[in-house]
Amino acid sequence: MVVSAYSDPAFIAERLGGAPAAAIPAVLAAQGDSFLVEVDLRAGTGGSLDAAYPSAQTVTFSASGPGTLSPSSATIPGGTTTAVFTVSYSAEANGVAITATVGNGKKAIRATSNTFDITRFLEFVEGDSAALRNGTAGADGAACTTVDRATPLCGIVILPRGASSHVALTLAECRTTDACLRGSLVTQMIANLTANGTNLYDRANPARMELVCDKTMCGRAGVNGFTALWSRTAFGALTPVPACSAKGVIDATLEYCTDYRASQRDNAGDLHLVVLFLDDVRGSI
Residue 151 vs residue 47, higher pLDDT: 151
Asked if residue 161 has pLDDT above 60, the reply is yes
Pick from 86, 118, 150: which residue ends a domain? 118
Q: Within 10 A of 149 (CB to CB), how many other CB atoms are there?
A: 9
Residues 132 and 219 reside in one and the same domain: yes
Helices (H) and strands (E) in the chain, counts: 3, 23
- Whether the CB-CB separation of 235 and 94 falls below 8 Å is answered with no
With beta carbons less than 8 A apart as the criterion, state whether 18 and 169 touch. no
Out of 77, 103, 118, a domain closes at: 118
Specify whether the CB–CB gap between 275 and 258 falls below 8 A. yes
Residue type, 195: A
Residue 205 has pLDDT above 80, yes or no: yes
φ/ψ bin of 269: left (φ > 0), alpha (ψ from -120 to 50), beta (otherwise)? left
> What is the rounded average pLDDT for all residues in the chain?
95
pLDDT tens-place string over residues 98-137: 999 999 998 899 999 999 999 999 999 999 999 999 999 9
pLDDT of residue 43: 84
Exposure of 185 in the CB half-sphere (CA atoms within 13 A): 28
Residues 60 and 135 in one domain: no
State the pTM of this model: 0.93
The per-residue pLDDT for range 164-202, each reduced to its tens digit, is 999 999 999 999 999 999 999 999 999 999 999 899 999
Q: How many CB atoms lie within 10 A of CB 118?
A: 29
Mark whether 106 and 125 lie in a shared domain: no
Q: How confident is the model at residue 48 (pLDDT cuts 50, 70, 90)?
A: low
**pLDDT, tens digit, for every residue of 49-76?**
678 889 999 999 999 999 999 999 999 9
Percent of the chain with pLDDT over 70: 98
If asked whether residues 154 and 186 sit together in one domain, one would say: yes
CA 272 – CA 209 distance, rounded (Å): 10
Looking at the structure, do residues 45 and 164 belong to the same domain, yes or no? Answer: no
Domain count, the chain: 2
Residue 80 sits in the same domain as residue 168? no
- pLDDT tens digits for 214-224? 999 999 889 99
135 and 196 belong to one structural domain: yes
Residues 135 and 165 in one domain: yes
Residue 261's DSSP bridge partners are none
User: Are residues 275 and 160 part of one domain?
Assistant: yes
pLDDT at 217: 96
Domain containing 279: what range?
121-284
Residue 241's pLDDT is 98
